[in-house]
Structure formats: structure tokens, C-alpha cells
């Protein structure tokens, strides 16, 4: 388990992280969310022992990050923001260096490097210097060094930043495959990543925790939770839809030619909307029920921080 209690970091007069507390258990993939400047990277650096907190505590699998720093760090695979690597080293040389720093020699060193290279598909760039790689490949090299020692805890700061859609899918599949018996924390601003790979999400703003729940729980806080969108059908009667039981309102999207019928909190309105469609004989090309919009929830939770 990772346990954070009242974690605080101050820089002169600025409080970057303010009394943050939460726990992460084995098998969880935690999405760590917040706007720019919310304190995400500062929290990551404290968790990994690169920054000392001003107050509060953090422990990694029972090892206090201040009092037992080396033991805590041995449990962690860390991908920092920007994936910093030694640019003048080749990919093969860099991963070999990391393996040796981790204490691996001989056949075990080769096995660990080969496994990380295969997982991140780095074979064709092994001989290149890191400074000549694309942003996406640099990110993949950073991920390879993070998983080289098969750590029980992975802390990843923007793991898919700069990757193309195929590479993003590959990294997400890797995270899923690693998550069964590990703790994984992903700091990201890509909200689709939360729905794609995270079992839980923590949202911070101005260094404080403002939400903690599963992606579905967060989406249920959206005004679009259980909303029904109708696409097509010029004869759609907006007033008739708005008058249905449980309906909070109707929004028209002229660009898409659609209507979105909003549900009151706790109401399920699809049966009423569907019945009205059949009753009026409307020709509807698409009929979708929304889980909620995470981006809208995120904006609502962090609006004061952004201001």
C-alpha cells in the first residue's frame, strides 16, 4: 500500500501541496488529475524521495520515504515528467547503465534489458543515441527504464505524452497487464486515459484533494449523466421531450443536428424518451445514453483553481 498523510510542500510563500491524504492499494491503477500548477508533479517528486515534504508523511509498502528512503525507492519504477535520459547515450547503453545501477550483472542484466526492450518495442532504435529519438521514442525509453527491475510500484508522470494513437494503445495495454499485482499511479491531463486504464481517480486543485472515486463515480457527477442524445429526425419536438417526467432540460446541437435530453439527478429517462420516439414515429439515426462527461466534471471541480 501507498499511504499519504497530510502531505504538504511549501516553496517560500507558495504552498504547492496542501495537506494531501489518500491511500492506494495493490491492484489499483490510480489516475492523479489536476490542472497545470495543481501540485501533481510536486506530489510525485515527494512520493519518490526527490523532494522532502515540508510536513506530513508518505510510505511506500510500509517504508517511510523520509526515514527509509533507499528501501522505499527500491520498490518504485518512476517515469518523471519529460522522461529525462542521457541524450548522448545509445538506448542500449542507457538501459545497460540503468540495469547496472540496479545491481544486475551478466545473464540477468541481459534478460532484464531484453524484456523491457521487447515490451516497449525498442529493437529498431537500440543503437541510436537518445538525443536523436522522437519524443514518442524517448517516452518509451523512459518507460523501459521504469519497468526494468519489475518494481511492485509504478509512478508514471504523463506516460503517453507525445505518443501516437497506436503507441498510446500499446502503453495502456502494458499498464493493464502490469496492474494485477502492482500499485500504479498515473499523473495525466489526458482524461480519456482515466476511463481507458484507471480503476480510480484522485483530482487535486491548488494542492488540495477535491475528488476521489472510480471513473464511473466521477462521471455520475456530470450534468450529462444518464442524458439521452438523439441524432437525426427534423420533426423532433423539443418541447415534448422537455415535458417528459424526469427531464431537466433539452440542449440542441445545430452543428451535429442532435438533441441532448438531460436527466434530473438520480433519474433514468431513456424509457420515456424511447417511448415518445415510437409514439410520434420520429426517424432517429442514433440514440445514445451518456455515462457522463469527465471533462465537464473536471472543469467544475477545478474551476476555482483555474481562475
Q: In the chain, what percentage of residues exceed pLDDT 90?
A: 70
Q: Are 290 and 226 in contact (CB under 8 A)?
A: yes
For residue 277, CA distances in Å to 225, 261, 274 come to 20, 13, 5
- CA 143, CA 141: separation in Å to the nearest integer? 5
Burial of 170 (0-12, 13-18, 19+ CB in 10 A): middle
- CA 72, CA 155: separation in Å to the nearest integer? 13
State the virtual CA torsion across 295, 301, 304, 307 in degrees, nearest 10. Answer: -10
Q: Are 212 and 200 in contact (CB under 8 A)?
A: yes
Mean pLDDT of 194-199: 90
What is the b/e burial string over 185-201, where b = at least 16 CB atoms within 10 angstroms of the residue's CB? bbbbeebebbebbbebb
Residue 273 confidence (pLDDT) above 60: yes
Q: Are 140 and 118 in contact (CB under 8 A)?
A: no
Q: Of 40, 37, 67, 63, whose CA–CA distance to 52 is shortest?
A: 67
Alpha helix ranges (H) inside the chain: 40-47, 69-73, 91-101, 106-120, 135-147, 165-178, 191-197, 215-219, 238-242, 270-280, 294-306
pLDDT in tens, 176-189: 888 888 999 998 87
pLDDT in tens, 77-127: 999 877 788 999 999 999 999 999 999 999 999 999 999 999 888 999 999
- CA 152, CA 63: separation in Å to the nearest integer? 13
Mean pLDDT of 241-257: 89
Mean pLDDT of 3-30: 94
In this predicted structure, what is the pLDDT of residue 236? 84
In this predicted structure, what is the pLDDT of residue 188? 84
Q: What angle do CA 254, 260, 265 make, to 5 degrees?
A: 150
- CA 183, CA 301: separation in Å to the nearest integer? 26
In this predicted structure, what is the pLDDT of residue 307? 37
pLDDT in tens, 55-89: 999 999 999 999 999 999 999 999 987 778 899 99
Residue reference for cell 431537466? 248
- 28 pLDDT band, cuts 50/70/90, is very high
Q: Of 184, 218, 189, whose CA–CA distance to 201 is shortest?
A: 218
Q: Can you say whether the dihedral through the CA atoms of 166, 171, 175, 178 is positive or negative?
A: positive
Q: Which long-range contacts (CB under 8 A, 24 or more apart) does 252-260 make?
A: 256/231, 257/231, 257/232, 258/229, 258/230, 258/231, 258/232, 258/286, 259/229, 259/230, 260/224, 260/227, 260/228, 260/229, 260/230, 260/290
Residue 164 confidence (pLDDT) above 60: yes
Cell of 133: 529519438
- CA 202, CA 205: separation in Å to the nearest integer? 10
In this predicted structure, what is the pLDDT of residue 306? 42
Residue 145 confidence (pLDDT) above 90: yes
Q: Are 58 and 67 in contact (CB under 8 A)?
A: no
In this predicted structure, what is the pLDDT of residue 304? 59
Mean pLDDT, the chain, rounded, equals 91
Mean pLDDT of 202-218: 93
Amino acid at each position: 500500500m501507498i499511504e499519504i498523510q497530510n502531505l504538504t510542500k511549501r516553496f517560500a510563500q507558495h504552498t504547492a501541496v496542501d495537506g494531501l491524504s489518500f491511500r492506494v492499494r495493490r491492484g489499483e491503477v490510480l489516475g492523479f488529475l489536476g490542472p497545470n500548477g495543481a501540485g501533481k508533479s510536486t506530489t510525485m517528486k515527494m512520493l519518490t524521495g526527490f523532494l522532502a515534504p515540508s510536513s506530513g508523511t508518505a510510505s511506500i509498502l510500509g517504508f517511510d520515504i523520509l526515514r527509509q528512503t533507499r528501501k522505499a525507492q527500491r520498490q518504485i519504477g518512476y517515469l518523471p515528467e519529460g522522461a529525462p535520459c542521457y541524450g548522448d547515450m545509445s538506448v542500449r547503453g542507457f538501459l545497460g547503465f540503468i540495469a547496472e545501477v540496479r545491481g544486475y550483472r551478466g545473464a540477468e542484466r541481459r534478460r532484464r534489458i531484453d524484456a523491457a526492450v521487447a515490451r516497449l518495442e525498442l529493437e529498431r532504435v537500440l543503437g541510436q543515441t537518445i538525443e536523436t529519438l522522437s519524443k514518442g521514442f524517448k517516452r518509451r525509453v523512459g518507460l523501459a527504464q521504469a519497468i526494468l527491475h519489475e518494481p511492485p510500484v509504478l509512478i508514471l508522470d504523463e506516460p503517453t505524452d507525445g505518443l501516437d494513437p497506436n503507441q498510446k494503445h500499446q502503453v495502456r495495454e502494458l499498464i493493464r497487464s502490469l496492474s494485477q499485482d502492482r500499485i500504479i499511479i498515473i499523473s495525466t491531463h489526458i482524461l480519456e486515459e482515466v476511463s481507458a486504464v484507471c480503476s480510480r481517480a484522485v483530482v487535486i486543485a491548488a494542492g488540495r484533494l477535491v475528488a476521489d472515486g472510480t471513473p464511473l463515480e466521477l462521471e455520475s457527477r456530470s450534468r450529462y449523466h444518464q442524458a439521452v442524445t438523439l441524432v437525426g429526425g427534423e420533426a423532433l419536438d423539443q418541447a415534448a421531450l422537455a415535458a417528459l417526467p424526469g427531464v431537466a432540460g433539452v440542449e440542441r446541437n445545430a452543428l451535429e443536428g442532435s438533441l441532448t435530453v438531460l436527466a434530473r439527478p438520480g433519474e433514468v429517462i431513456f424509457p420515456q424518451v424511447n417511448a415518445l420516439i415510437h409514439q410520434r414515429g420520429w426517424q432517429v439515426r442514433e440514440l445514445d445514453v451518456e455515462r457522463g462527461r469527465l471533462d465537464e466534471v473536471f472543469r467544475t471541480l477545478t474551476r476555482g483553481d483555474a481562475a
